[in-house]
Amino acid sequence: MQQEDKQFLLKPEEDKSRNCEDIDQEHQSNDNDHPSCGDEGTIDQLSTEGYDLYRPKGVLERTQSRLDGVSLSWQNLDVFVPEKKEWSWRNYFRSLSPSSQTKQILQNVSGEVKPGQLLAILGASGAGKTTLLNVLTGRNLGNFIVQGSVRLNRQPVGRSIAHLSAYVQQEDLFIGTLTVKEHLMFNAMLRMDKRVTKEARERRINEVLIELGLKKCENTTIGLPSRIKGISGGEKKRLAFASEILTNPSLMFCDEPTSGLDSFMAQSVISVVKDLATSGRTIICTIHQPSSEVYAMFDQILLMAEGRVAYMGSAVSAFSFFESIGKQCPRNFNPADFFIHTLAVTPGREEECRREIHSICDEFIRSEFCTLVQKTQHGIEKDVISMEDDHYADHSIYKASWFTQVRAVGWRSFLSFSREPLLTTIRFAQTIFMAVLLGAIYWNQDLTQESVQNINGVLFLLLTNMTFQNMFGVINVFCEELPVFLREHWNGMYRTDVYFRCKTFTEAPLYVIMPILFTSILYWMVGLYDNVKTFLICNGIVILISNTATSFGYLMSCISSTVEIALSIGPVLLIPLMMFGGFFLNNASTPVYFVWLKYVSWFYYGNEALSINQWRNINHIACNQTNIGCIPNGKAVLMQLNFDEDNFVFDNLLLVTLLVGLRTLAFIGLLIRASRKN
C-alpha cells in the first residue's frame, strides 16, 4: 500500500526540471496578468483557482510547482472559557452578576510555520492542541474568549481563515451512496471558482485522483456502515485530503489525520501529507501518538503542555533542547512518546508533574530556541490585535452562485435518493399492504346505518396512516446528514436554504405518488362515494395531509440532533393533535383550555374535509325498522360529528397553511442549528 501511494505521488520527469523562471515565462506567454510563482501570496492566490484558469489546454502538469507559499504566525494567544458549575439557585443568581469566573486554556502561545513545512502539534490529552487548532482555523470557538494575533503573510486574519484554507477534520464524513469521483465532482462544482470550465474541473479531479492514489477506486461507492460496502479506511482518509486539495490550497490544517488507522496506514497517510508540504504548502496538524517513522517526517513540532508552549522548533533540535534541561531521550526510544510522557500529568503526582511542566515551559522561554521563534516574528508583537480584526474579512464565503449550489446539491440529493431502492421499495410495499389490509377489513361498505361508523373509521384511519407513515419516513432525513451538512455549510460550499430546498424537493414526488396509490386502492375496495370528482378531491386532500405530516417530520428532524431524539419527541407531540381530530372526541366536547390544539391539528381539518367530501352528496341512508334514531342522510352525519359543510374550502386552505408553516419552522430550526454560535 505504501509503495503504491509513493508511486502515485512521484512527479513526472519533465516537472522535476522545471524551475520558477520557466513557469513565469509560460504564464507570460498565456496570460500577462498571472502572478509570478515567486511573488508573495495574496488574497487572490489564496483562493487558488488560478491554477485551472491559467493553465494551457492539453498540458497535464503538477500543481505543486504552481503554489505560492503562505506563512502563518500567531502571537501571544490567550484563550479563556467560562467555567461550568452545577445548577443551583445560588449559582444562578451568581451568574447574573457581571463578574464570572473563567478558566484559561491557552497561555501566551506563539509560533510560526512557513511554506513547505509540516508542523505537528503534540501533547498529552488536555494540553490544548485542539483548542489551538480551533483558534488558528477560526472554528468551534463557541463562547471562548480569544486574545492575541493570528496573521497570514503578515496580515491579520480572523474567522475568515476558514474560507482561505483547507481543513481535513478527524472524522471522515461523506454521503456514502456517492462514488469517489462523484464526491470530488460535487466538491469541485462548489469550491472552485465559477470561471473554471467543466473540462478544467474534470482535469483537476483526474490529477487529484492520481496524486493521492485513488484512481483505481474512482467509480467505487464510498459506502455506509453496515449498509453499503465501500472503500477502505485508508482510502477514505485520502479522499478527505483529495476533497481539500481540489482547489490547490497553500494552507492546510489536519486534525488527527491518523486517528483510527493502524501504524502502517498512519505512516502512509503522513507520507501523503509530507509530500503535500514538500510541494510548497504550509501544513499544520495535530497528531496523537506518532511512531518514530512518522515523527521523522515532521519539519517542525510544537509541544503543548497545560496550555503552554513547551517547545517550538525543528523536530531534530527538540533533542538538544531536552538534553539541555536534563531530559535526554533514551536511544532506540520513540521520541514522540518520550516528549509526551515527559509533559504528561501522572495520576497521583499532579502537583509535582505540573511544577515540572511549568519549569520546562519557563526554560523554553529563556532558551535560544524560543529566541529563534521570536526573531521570525519580529515586528508582530508590536501590533497585537483582537481576533475580530480581519484583513480578509471582505472575502466571500461562497465561491459558487446560488443557482450552481442548487444544481450541485440537487444532483447529489437525487443520486443519494435514487441509490437506495430498497428503502423506496419497502415504502411502496408498506403502502400497498396497509391499503389492501384496510380495504379487506372494510370491504364494500353499503350505505346502511351500521356502515356510517365504519366509513368514518376508514376515513380517520386513512388520515392517521398517511400521517404516521410519512412522518416516520422523513424523521431521520436531516438527523443522519446533519454532520455532513454542517461541515460543508461552514466550509462555505452552499447555503442552508439551498440544502433544505433540494432535500425536500427531491423527495416531494414520492409523497405525492404514495398517497395517490394508497387512496386509489382503499377508496374503491371500501366502496366510498362512487363519483370520479369526489375520488379526485379525496386524493387531493390526502396529498395535502401527507405533505403536512411530512413537514412535521422535517421539523422534528431539523430540531433534533439524533434520530433517537426525533423519534422520542415526535409521537409525544403528535398524539395530542390526533386526539382533537374529531374522531376520538366530538368537536363540541373539546375543553375550552385545549381548544387551541384543535386549531393547529391537521387531523381536525383533514378529517372534516374528508368527511364533507364523502357525505355531502349522500341524500339517503337505508334505515331498518330495528334501527333506533336513524341517520337519514349525509348532512345528518356531518351534523352528528359537529362538522360544518361550509368549512370545506377553509379546511383545505388551513391544511396548505399548516404545510407551509411547519416547513418554514423546519427551515428555521435547521438555520438555527447551522448558526456558528451553536
Q: What is the share, in percent, of the chain residues with pLDDT greater than 70?
A: 79
Query: How many whole angstroms separate alpha carbon 254 and alpha carbon 166?
Result: 8
443 has a pLDDT exceeding 70:
yes
Overall average pLDDT of the 41-62 stretch: 35
Question: CB within 8 A of 122, min separation 6: which ones?
Answer: 129, 286, 287, 290, 301, 302, 303, 304, 336, 339, 340
DSSP string, 610-660: HHHHHHTT----B--TT-SS---SHHHHHHHTT--GGGHHHHHHHHHHHHH
Which DSSP letter does residue 421 get?
H
Q: When comparing pLDDT for 371 and 331, which is higher?
A: 331
661 has a pLDDT exceeding 90:
yes
C-alpha cell at position 409: 446539491
Query: How many whole angstroms separate alpha carbon 138 and alpha carbon 395?
Result: 15
User: What pLDDT score does 376 carry?
Assistant: 56
Overall average pLDDT of the 219-234 stretch: 82
pLDDT one-digit tens code per residue, 613-630: 998 888 888 777 565 668
Overall average pLDDT of the 461-475 stretch: 90
- Categorize the per-residue pLDDT at 100 as very low, low, confident or very high, splitting at 50, 70 and 90: low
C-alpha cell at position 338: 518520550
User: What pLDDT score does 678 carry?
Assistant: 47
User: What pLDDT score does 89 carry?
Assistant: 52
Overall average pLDDT of the 160-170 stretch: 77
116 has a pLDDT exceeding 60:
yes
Q: Name which of 290-304, 381-395, 583-597 the model is least confident about.
A: 381-395
Asked if residues 518 and 439 have their Cβ atoms less than 8 Å apart, the reply is no
DSSP string, 465-491: HHHHHHHHHHTTHHHHHHHHHHHHHHT
pLDDT one-digit tens code per residue, 263-304: 888 888 888 888 888 888 899 998 888 888 888 899 999 998
Cβ atoms < 10 Å from Cβ of 549: 29
Query: How many whole angstroms separate alpha carbon 502 and alpha carbon 615?
Result: 39
User: What pLDDT score does 135 carry?
Assistant: 86
Query: How many whole angstroms separate alpha carbon 5 and alpha carbon 449?
Result: 79
Report H helices in 138-262.
Answer: 180-191, 198-211, 233-245
Query: How many whole angstroms separate alpha carbon 602 and alpha carbon 660?
Result: 12
Cβ atoms < 10 Å from Cβ of 632: 12
Asked if residues 471 and 552 have their Cβ atoms less than 8 Å apart, the reply is yes
Query: How many whole angstroms separate alpha carbon 292 and alpha carbon 7?
Result: 23
Asked if residues 423 and 227 have their Cβ atoms less than 8 Å apart, the reply is no
Q: When comparing pLDDT for 602 and 38, which is higher?
A: 602
In three-state secondary structure terms, 50 is: helix
User: What pLDDT score does 390 carry?
Assistant: 53
Query: How many whole angstroms separate alpha carbon 34 and alpha carbon 32?
Result: 6
Which residues sit opposite 180 in a β-bridge?
A: none
User: What pLDDT score does 76 carry?
Assistant: 86
pTM over 0.85: no
In 3D space, the residue among 571, 463, 452 whose CA is nearest the CA of residue 515 turns out to be: 463
Asked if residues 335 and 341 have their Cβ atoms less than 8 Å apart, the reply is no
How many angstroms from the chain centroid is the CA of residue 520? 39
Cβ atoms < 10 Å from Cβ of 564: 10
- Categorize the per-residue pLDDT at 349 as very low, low, confident or very high, splitting at 50, 70 and 90: confident
Query: How many whole angstroms separate alpha carbon 486 and alpha carbon 169?
Result: 13
In 3D space, the residue among 64, 68, 21, 65 whose CA is nearest the CA of residue 42 turns out to be: 68
User: What pLDDT score does 43 carry?
Assistant: 34
User: What pLDDT score does 183 carry?
Assistant: 92
User: What pLDDT score does 50 carry?
Assistant: 35
- Categorize the per-residue pLDDT at 248 as very low, low, confident or very high, splitting at 50, 70 and 90: confident
211 has a pLDDT exceeding 70:
yes
Q: What is the share, in percent, of the chain residues with pLDDT greater than 90?
A: 20
Query: How many whole angstroms separate alpha carbon 641 and alpha carbon 626?
Result: 23
366 has a pLDDT exceeding 90:
no
Q: When comparing pLDDT for 315 and 15, which is higher?
A: 315
C-alpha cell at position 468: 404516521
Query: How many whole angstroms separate alpha carbon 639 and alpha carbon 52?
Result: 72
605 has a pLDDT exceeding 80:
yes
- Categorize the per-residue pLDDT at 393 as very low, low, confident or very high, splitting at 50, 70 and 90: low
Which DSSP letter does residue 295 get?
H
In three-state secondary structure terms, 111 is: strand
Question: CB within 8 A of 546, min separation 6: which ones?
Answer: 466, 467, 470, 511, 512, 514, 515
First-last CA distance in the chain: 41
DSSP string, 309-368: EEEEEETTHHHHHHHHTT-PPPTTS-HHHHHHHHTS--TT-HHHHHHHHHHHHHHHHHSH
Strands (E), 371-503: none
In three-state secondary structure terms, 7 is: helix
Tell me how far CA of residue 52 lies from CA of 34, 207, 313, 389, 466, in angstroms: 12, 11, 35, 32, 51
Mean pLDDT for all residues in the chain: 79
Q: State the residue for C-alpha cell 508533574.
A: 353
Query: How many whole angstroms separate alpha carbon 179 and alpha carbon 220?
Result: 5
Asked if residues 608 and 582 have their Cβ atoms less than 8 Å apart, the reply is yes
Strand pairing class (166-168; 251-255):
parallel
Q: How many residues does the chain have?
A: 678
Query: How many whole angstroms separate alpha carbon 254 and alpha carbon 245?
Result: 12
Question: CB within 8 A of 567, min separation 6: which ones?
Answer: 472, 475
Which DSSP letter does residue 88 get?
-
- Categorize the per-residue pLDDT at 29 as very low, low, confident or very high, splitting at 50, 70 and 90: very low
238 has a pLDDT exceeding 90:
no
The DSSP H or E segment spanning 513 is helix 510-526
Overall average pLDDT of the 152-157 stretch: 82
pLDDT one-digit tens code per residue, 508-547: 999 999 999 999 999 999 988 889 999 999 999 999 999 9
74 has a pLDDT exceeding 50:
yes
User: What pLDDT score does 379 carry?
Assistant: 47
- Categorize the per-residue pLDDT at 554 as very low, low, confident or very high, splitting at 50, 70 and 90: very high
User: What pLDDT score does 487 carry?
Assistant: 85
In 3D space, the residue among 211, 265, 272 whose CA is nearest the CA of residue 233 turns out to be: 265
